[in-house]
Every structure is written in structure tokens, then in C-alpha cells.
Amino acid sequence: MSQEIAVVGSPDFTTGFRLAGVREFADVPDDDKDEQLDDAVREMLDDDNVGILVMHDEDLEHLSRGVRSDVETSVEPVLVTLGGEAGSSGLREQIKRAIGIDLMEED
């Protein structure tokens, strides 16, 4: 069974992914993030078909402490955040957590 990529965020954020063929998504309007984002993320975490969860890094601030902790420590699906200042080191850590090895480690 193949794993899906899921995207959660504002319609502006998810549109590009949908155009690229991502079928699992949850649109959460900016003015409803504090109320709806937790539920949308929890739904993706509980979906066995989702292998990667993509969010804008600023949206993490809108999650409750419990949901944020769950998504940040989840191995499957693994969280990938875009935007902000995390840069390649953040992505490096996310990949390392997802597959268990550091692909960029120098010998």
C-alpha cells in the first residue's frame, strides 16, 4: 500500500500541492486556524494512508500543545514544514527522524 502526502493549511498554501496531484488535503482558512487546525491535523495523523504531512511552519503556532507535540514527534506520518527560517537543518532532522539515518552526514 502506497503512502500519501497530505497537506494542511490555508487554501493559498494547499492549492499548489493540489495542482501537483496531492489528493489528501485540509483547507483551513486563516481566520479559523485556532478552531479548526487541531482537528484537521489530528485527522491526518490518524489516517493510515498518510505517510508525510506537509504544513507551513507558522501554522504550528496555532496548534494546541498536545497536538503540536504529537505531530512533531510522529514518525508516521512524518511532519515536513515549509517556510520560515528552519532551513535545511530543519529538513535534515525531519528526514533523519523519518528514515532513521542522517543522509547528509559526512564521513
84 φ/ψ sector (left φ>0, alpha ψ -120 to 50, else beta): left
Tell me the Ramachandran region of residue 44: left when phi exceeds 0, alpha when psi lies from -120 to 50, beta otherwise: alpha
The model's pLDDT over 49-97, given as tens digits with 9 standing for 90+, comes to: 999 999 998 999 999 999 999 999 998 999 988 876 544 456 666 666 6
Q: Is 91 helix (H, G, I), strand (E, B) or coil?
A: helix
For range 27-38, the mean pLDDT? 92
pLDDT number for residue 86:
47
- ∠ CA 104-91-31, nearest 5°, is 175
Spell out where the chain has E strands. 4-9, 24-27, 50-56, 78-82
- Cα dihedral angle (50, 3, 83, 92), rounded to 10 degrees? 120
CA gap 58, 101 in Å, rounded: 27
Domains (range + CATH), the chain:
4-99 (3.40.50.10580)
